[in-house]
Amino acid sequence: MTAAALPALGLPRRRPSALPGFGPTLGFALAYLSLIVLIPLSVLVWRASGLGVSGLVAVAASPRVRAALETSFYLSLAAAALNAVAGLVVAWVLTRYRFPGRAILDAMVDLPFALPTAVAGIALAAIYATNGWVGALVNDLFGIRIAFTPSGIFVALVFIGLPFVVRTVQPVLADLDREVEEASATLGASRAQTILRVILPALVPAVLTGFALAFARAVGEYGSVIFIAGNMPFVSEIAPLLIIVQLEEFNYVGATAIAVVMLAISFTSLLAINLVQAWCLRRYGHV
C-alpha cells in the first residue's frame, strides 16, 4: 500500500520520513509474516474452532492435559530462569576476557542450536541415566535420579535454551561503554555497586529477550525431551507428547486443541515479558 492510499482509508497522513522505502518494506514484511506465521497459525486455530471456546477449555481442563501443561510451562520457566543467570555469566566471560580457547568456547554455545534435537536427547539420556557418568555420580552422592524424571526434562530444556540468552546479551555487553564503569568507580562506587546499578540495568532488556526466547522454545520442545523424560502421565509427561498421542489416534481436532491452548498460554506469557521489558526501558532509559 502506498502513502497516497492512506488518507483514503481514513488513516492520518504520515509525515514523510527521512528514510525512503517505508511502503514496499512494510508491504513485504506483512506479506512475509502472513505467509510464514499468521496463515499457518490461523489454520491451526480454525481447525480447532470446531470445538468452540467451551471445548477448548474442556480440553485444557482435563486432568491429564492440565498436568502436562503445568509440567511443560513450569519447567520451561525454571529452565529459562536458570539460563538467564548462567547465560549472562557465560556472555560476560566471552565478551570481557581474552583467554586461549575463547573462540572454541564461543562456537560451542551454538551447538544446542545446530544439533538435531533427537541427538541431543539421546546424548543427554545416556549421560544422565543412572548408568551414565553424571547420572551415576549424582545418584551415588545424593541418591537423586535425573534421567526419566522431571529433572531430566529440566536438564534438556536448559540445554536447548542456553544459546538464546548468551547470544542476545553478548552484543549489548560488547557495546557497553567501559567509561561508564570507570566513571562509576571514580565516583566511589564499589565493584558490586557498579555491577548492580550500572551494568545490570543496561542488560536487563537483552536478558529478558533471551529469557523469552528460551522459554518459548522450551515450551514447544519435543525431540530432546522425549528421550530423557520418562513420559509418565501426571509426572513427567510434556504437552507436546500429548499432541503426538492425539495425532496417533488420528484425532486432529484434539491435537490442534492442545496446540491452540499452548499457543494461547505462550502468547500471553511472551506478551507479559514484553510489557516488563517496556517498563524496564521506561525505568532505566534507552539501552
- Using CB under 8 A as the criterion, which residues of the chain lie in contact with other proteins when the complex forms? 63-64, 67, 122, 125-126, 129-132, 147-148, 226-227, 230-235, 241, 244-245, 247-251, 254
User: Count of residues for the chain?
Assistant: 287
